[in-house]
Each structure stands twice: as C-alpha cells, then as structure tokens.
A and B are shown apart, each in its own frame.
Chain A
Amino acid sequence: MTPERVATATIANLTNALQNGGTTASAIAAACLQRAVDLDPVCNAFIEMFSDEAMARAAALDSRPRGGALQGIPFGVKDMIDCKGHRTTAGSAVLHDNIALDDAHVVAALKAAGANCLGKLNLHEFAYGATGENALYGTAVNAHEPSRLAGGSSSGSAAAVAWGLLPFALGTDTGGSVRAPAALNGLVGLKPTYGRLSVRGVVPYCWSLDHVGIITRTVPDAALVLQEIATPDPADPGCIRASTDDYVAAAHGGSDLSGCSVGMPRAFFYENVDAEIRAAAERASAFLESKGATIKDVVLPDMTHTRTVSLTIQMPEALSYHMPRLEERGDLYGADFRAGLALGQNLLAEHYVRAKRMLTVYRAEVDRVFDGVDVLLTPATPAIAPKLGAVTVTTDGLTEPAGNAITRFTSFFNMTGHPAITVPSGLHSSGMPMGVQLVGRQFGEAELLSIAAIIDANPDFNVPSASI
C-alpha cells in the first residue's frame, strides 16, 4: 500500500491490507507521520506528534499475531484527552505543564485493541468555541479549502483525518464539536448517547453536556471504533454499565428500511439554511424513503431559548472546574474564555438550576417524538465552512456569530443526550462539503449507525477526499 493510498484509506481498507500482508503497522505509521510532518505546517492539526513512541509501538504490533480490526491502525486524540506521559494542554498555555499520569479510558481501550496513538490534536482553547481558532497553536484549516476553517472545537481531529494524516481521531462534543467539524470537512462525526462513553481522563468543559466523539471517513469505521471504546468504566460515575450492541454488524446491516420512520423537524432545523444544504438533506430523506422508510414531519420543543439554556449550564460549570487555575495562573487564559467565565460567575444559582430543569423538559419532549419515529434527519450545519477570520455568518437572511452558526443544529442534542451522527451529503457548488445529521433514541447507536451507513454507502452523497 503506497503512502498516498494510506492517506485516503478507511480503517477497513488498512485492516484488509494488514491481514493480507499488503502492508505493516510500521509502514502505515511511517506514512501517516511523514504526511503529518509535511502538511502540518499548513493545516495545524497536531499539537504534539508521538513519532518515536508510535514507530516503536508499530514495530511491536508487527511482531504480534494479527488481532482485532484496530490492531496497527493509527489514531490521534484531541488534546483534551489524556495519553500517559504526555502533556494534555487543552490547547491552552494554562496547562503547558500538565503531564498525564495515565491514559484516558477511551485511549486505554484503543491501545488494548492494538491501535497506535500518533499524537495530540489541535482545538479551540478548552473547547470553548466552534471555530477552532487558537492563537497559541495556530488555527486548523479545512482540507477542501485552506482559506476556510476546519471548524471546532475538535478542529485538529477533523483536519487530521480530512488532510489524510490519520484514518480516525477522537474529539469531544459539548455542543457539536465533533459532528460539526466532521461535516464541514466531508467526514463522519459520531456523538454517542450521554454516558455511553467514559469521560475519565478528559479535561472537562461542561460535565452536563460533555461527550467523547469519533471522527472517521466512513460510518462502518465509526462503528469499529465505537465497539472498542464503549466499554463500561467503573471509575467514571457518569458512564453507564450496560453492555454494548453489535455496532459493527449494524453498520453492515443492509439497505432495507421497511418499517423504519424518519422524522423531519422542519421548524428551526430547516429554516435559515443554505439552499443547497437544505436540498441535500431533502435528497437524503427521499433516498431513505426509496429504501422503504416512512418520512414524517415532527415537532421538536421550542428552540427559542435553547442556546441560553446551554450557555447558562456551560459557563458556571466551566468556571467551577477552572477556578483553581484562574487563581494560580489566570493571566494565561485567552481573553474570550475569561469573558465567558466572568459571565458564569454572574449568573444566579437559580438560573443554573432552571436551565438544568429545562434539560429534563427537552429530553422528555424529544423522547416522546421518538415514540413515533426511529430517527430524526436534519442538515448538519446551516452553512459551509466559514472563511478564516469570519466573525459572523449570514445564511438565508439570518446573521449570527460564526461559532453559533457552526453548532446551530447540533448543540440541542448535547442537552437531550440523544446519540447523533453527521454524514456527508455531497459537495456544495462552492466545492465545500455538506452534511446531514441523524439523531437516534437514547442508546440507539446501533439503529442510528445502520441508517447512517445506508446514506454513507450511496455515492450520490459522497464527498471525495480533498485534493492536496
């Protein structure tokens, strides 16, 4: 397998090549690291590469008998996620000396499966923002047009996969920070149900909304990774202990959608959207219908105050985590994050509790919607990736801050906790990727992956790898 082929290969492609002797873990790691060395000065995906460590591990993996599907497969993690012996900076000078004493649960699970961690990936400082702009480590840029943002906050995770530096990456998703950048880069972004994945060893941003997520090139690849990391973690009190479904089988479950109902929440999620992105979501709906699904219009809760509710939970929780570091080294925080923390300090306790009660209301209302449908289908984002430096985005007459636009359709499902996945829905006339979002029942990842895989397998919705 040539280095060029490694750059666009799926996990399944690499696994096949490893199993039939067409390549080695060492050759794959070397190709990825060399490409990262060559391209990272442009794309700013990495904060740290584990070059020597990764090559040594690849050699050790090559000396073992073949194991599971992830043995010898490289990956990277957003630098909110601990890797033993390495810094976890969260993209901030504040944590410049924060050496992880252990692997995060999800990293340990991937290592146990034989995957090879190549390094730590860039992000918006402390995941506070969806543009991925980072003054300290540079801003990760979009592989399809480097004058545009990769999106964030898991900007480096999306950029690393889209630029062909890694076949998959982990990120964190508190308002869409995995799903939105994946969509803006023509990738698959999965946020499982709240509590499905352990967050032990992950720098918190907002405990009530934080999820670990997965960025891959295909839906079956996302299923492979989820299968390995969705293991119970008794040391994380928020991680459920339930057994997992067979996600891999679900993602290869065929294309018959007879008996499946797809909900279209037209209010809010289909309003003020780029016309081509909306049309692509409608085409995805029609395609699912052609496979036997029933399409139904559904009504979700009133979205008027959802961003207020989210912010009212985020900032006091972020302040609570950061208070010791603010006292010790507050001058190292970025000005925008400090402003957000100041907001968190001046909300009332009753505001926070009321916002948490609104989450209960939202969850119950969306659960009721799932009494009548199996999945929801929405555009992933209202617009294509914004230009670097864009402060606002105007879409179909609505002007909003760029970060708000990027996460407009994703953040609600962090509040309700429902699993959600973004899948490419084709290329915009500008040449930029578009995506759709599917949302499933609580802990319904298998069903969600099975339906997402059907869209993913349709070449009409494919986004070709970026020409680099």
Chain B
Amino acid sequence: MTLKKPELETFADMRDMLATYGFSDAELSELVDPKLGIITGFADLLAQLEVLRKMDLGATPPASGIAHPEPGS
C-alpha cells in the first residue's frame, strides 16, 4: 500500500478532535513541509514506519530495562 502524503487539515482535525496539545497550524505545517531541518519530513518517517509495521516480530515484547546477571539486581 502506498501511503498518501499527510495534509495539514488532517493534523489540524486530530488536534481539534482529540485531547491533544494545541500546536499552531504553522507548527503542524512543519510536519507536511519541513523548514527547520530537524524533522526531515513526517511523510518519510511514516513511510519507514510502514516498512517496520510489515516486519513480523512474533511475540517480541517492547524493551524494558537490561537485566544484570547478579541475582536480585
């Protein structure tokens, strides 16, 4: 499946319909048309996440702490 490019209206609707923080339209536009250079495109990120979504991880749980071999630690 090819993902549709996200649109500002979608993000604005989510902001207005869900219990979320009220980022401005200009800030949400950064997700659609990045200018600041830190976020290099939300669409690209979603496309990569779509690849990860299709990986079969079986019953692998989310990571938590790292167990130390010493008993009781």
Contacts and interface: CB of A to CB of B under 8 A. Distances in A.
A360 B30 contact: no
B11 A357 contact: no
Contacts of A356: 62-63
A338 B23 CA distance: 8
B11 A241 contact: no
A359 B51 contact: no
A208 interface: yes
Interface stretch (A74-82, A282-290, A306-314): A306-314
A319 B45 CA distance: 17
Contacts of A403: 38
Q: Is the interface of A mostly helix, strand, loop or mixed?
A: helix
Interface residues of B, number: 35
B45 A312 contact: yes
A304 B72 CA distance: 37
Contact of B31 (A343, A357, A359): A343
A339 B38 contact: yes
Interface stretch (A27-35, A50-58, A347-355, A456-464): A347-355
Contacts of A319: 21
Contacts of A327: 21
Of A242, A330, A340, A341, most buried by chain B (CB within 10 Å of CB) is A242
Contacts of A267: none
A111 to B, nearest CB: 25
Main secondary structure on B side of the interface with A: loop
Interface string A122-151: 000000110000000000000000000000
User: Which of B15, B31, B39, B69 counts the most chain A CB atoms within 10 A?
Assistant: B39
B27 interface: yes
Contacts of A413: none
Contacts of B36: 335-336, 339
Interface of B: 11, 14-15, 20-21, 23, 27-28, 30-31, 34, 36-40, 42, 45, 48-49, 51-53, 57, 60-63, 65-66, 68-70, 72-73
13 contacts: A195-B66, A305-B52, A308-B48, A335-B27, A342-B11, A343-B45, A346-B11, A346-B42, A359-B62, A361-B57, A401-B40, A417-B66, A443-B68
Given A338-B27, A342-B23, 19 more contacts: A193-B66, A194-B66, A240-B66, A242-B70, A323-B21, A330-B21, A336-B38, A339-B34, A340-B38, A340-B39, A341-B23, A343-B42, A345-B23, A347-B49, A355-B49, A358-B52, A359-B62, A363-B66, A401-B38
